[in-house]
Structure 1
């Protein structure tokens, strides 16, 4: 760490982000802002193995460290990871995920500057033990899109006014060729529509029948469109069932790509219709137009970041649901409250704009 003209210049920065895929894509905006403010600094990100490919080969992240985060982690595992971090001699730790575990790891690693973005209450006042500095959340954090929250946080650290950008990893030419071959069967003059129909989380997954009716309606109204499902290996069987029930010519690409390849695929895609999941954030990072269906989670906070996104969400008094309420919910009325007509109308608007280009 150096001081230049009275301001701090960090040289070896650790960003702690022990969250899932969508959160990690959004967290790349924090790395981007730090790299922009401190271009000569080394920026390292600590992530879960699940999100490794999002941050490896990423132009704003110089090194990736892995920590297999678990709520039931052994003390020995925590100390081992803290020892690894200590050996890297970081001069700044930025806890971007808000997790107490991340703050504790930074503290145990002896990193001299440990900064968090927290609303400190009696419930979490113990966090003051682990941070050297805490920026208070003095606005409506939950109603602010998450990348904008990262932007506010990092700009307070750097004392700048930079605009956030999510950054996807660089895709090797060999991987681009794989995706180009996957898409080669679709006519060049057709609109390519990707469908992310499942998140695997019950309060996010719009009913399959509703999704099928929507895609059938879109196909009837837009005969110049072709469709394919995207997702992980875990989504393949669900997508096969979806395709069978729809009685449509939809290609199942679930499990055919890794995350960087999916980013390139979505970059070559004209439009994505998705539930609230990591795929929607990948699409936003590569500037693909999309409509995202929300149910149990807040679109104000969790909508993908960018100018090419439309969202559909329930008009119901309990939306967005709080964690305590969600745990008691049985039938998730928010999922039923989003209508097929709502989603088709949102898609029609986006697709009409595209067809008019």
Structure 2
């Protein structure tokens, strides 16, 4: 018999219900929609300083070079690099067991919501309110960080000219301090 899905709080059970650690999900499907690597580096340094626990880096194979770059700049044993090394079911299980996910607007934020895992999502304006942030009436443990511009809802047809390696301004204008303020109170207790 099919059970109705409760939109007020759907969740998938994990093999281990103890939510531990922080996972940073790199990537956004399009590099222009991803927060800058240097910002992630600085954020991870702040997280390590507060938690003294390794950060799990997760993401698809296209982010392997970025993950290695970050891993090489972090203190020894500060990173557990899972980028390009998980299947989708293993990723879902990993996120379900994680205390906090930090990510761009991508599948990881939706998986975290479905697994009842806290998340901080850096979101731009292209699909704003279509997929994220979630409507107020939907229970979730997700904090969305954005810097709303007049050009939001552009369907990622950005009106600004940016260099190929630069993110769209709606992502690039989100500063580290704003993401850190959203992250700090959600960090899992060691």
TM-score band w.r.t. shorter chain = 0.7 to 0.9
CA drift at 1:308: 0.7
Higher RCO, Cα 8 Å, sep 6+: 2
Distance 1:255 1:267, change over 3 A: same
Alpha-carbon separation, structure 1, partners of 2:129 and 2:153: 13
Q: 1:324 to 1:287 in 2, by over 3 A?
A: closer
Give runs of ≥4 in structure 1 deviating > 3 Å: 162-168, 245-248, 296-299
Residues 300-309 or 230-239, more deviating: 300-309
Aligned 8 A contact 1:280 1:304 in 2? no
Question: 1:312 maps to which residue?
Answer: 145
The answer to whether the Cα contact below 8 Å between 2:27 and 2:60 also exists between their aligned partners in 1 is no
Change (3 A) 1:167 1:345: closer
The separation in 2 between residues aligned to 1:208 and 1:324, in whole angstroms, is 20
1:278 to 107, 113, 125: 107
Equivalent of residue 238 in structure 1, options 62, 66, 70:
66
TM-score, structure 2 as length reference: 0.78
- Please say if residues 281 and 304 of structure 1, whose CA atoms lie closer than 8 Å, have aligned partners that are also in contact: no
TM-score normalised by structure 1 residue count: 0.44
Residues 258/325 of structure 1: CA separation in 2 closer, same or farther (3 Å cut): closer
Shift of 1:193: 0.5
CA distance in 1, matches of 2:57, 2:156: 33
Deviation at 1:325, TM superposition (A): 4.1
Partners of 2:97 and 2:104 in 1: CA distance = 20
User: 1:167, 1:271 → 2: CA distance?
Assistant: 15
Corresponding position of 1:322: 154
Q: Distance in 1 between matches of 2:142 and 2:11?
A: 17
CA-based RMSD of the aligned residues comes to: 3.0
**CA offsets, 1:78-136, max 9 Å, x none?**
xxxxxxxxxxxxxxxxxxxxxxxxxxxxxxxxxxxxxxxxxxxxxxxxxxxxxxxxxxx
Partner of 2:181: 345
Does the aligned pair in 2 maintain the 1:204–1:296 contact within 8 Å?
no
Q: Residue 269 of structure 1: which of 94, 98, 101 is its match?
A: 98
Residues 191 and 225, structure 1, Cα contact 8 Å, conserved in 2 = no
Quote the residue 1:256 is aligned against: 85
Displacement after TM superposition at 1:294 (Å): 0.7
* Correspondence for 2:165: none
Shift of 1:247: 4.5
Report the CA distance between 1:302 and its aligned residue. 1.5
| More helix by percentage | 1
* 1:140-159 correspondence runs (5 A): none
Paired residues in the alignment total: 178
How far apart are the structure 2 equivalents of 1:262 and 1:324? 27
Q: Secondary structure at the match of 2:22?
A: strand
CA distance in structure 1 between the aligned counterparts of 2:129 and 2:53, rounded to whole angstroms? 30
2:23 matches 1:194? yes
**Is the counterpart of residue 205 in structure 1 residue 34 in structure 2?**
yes
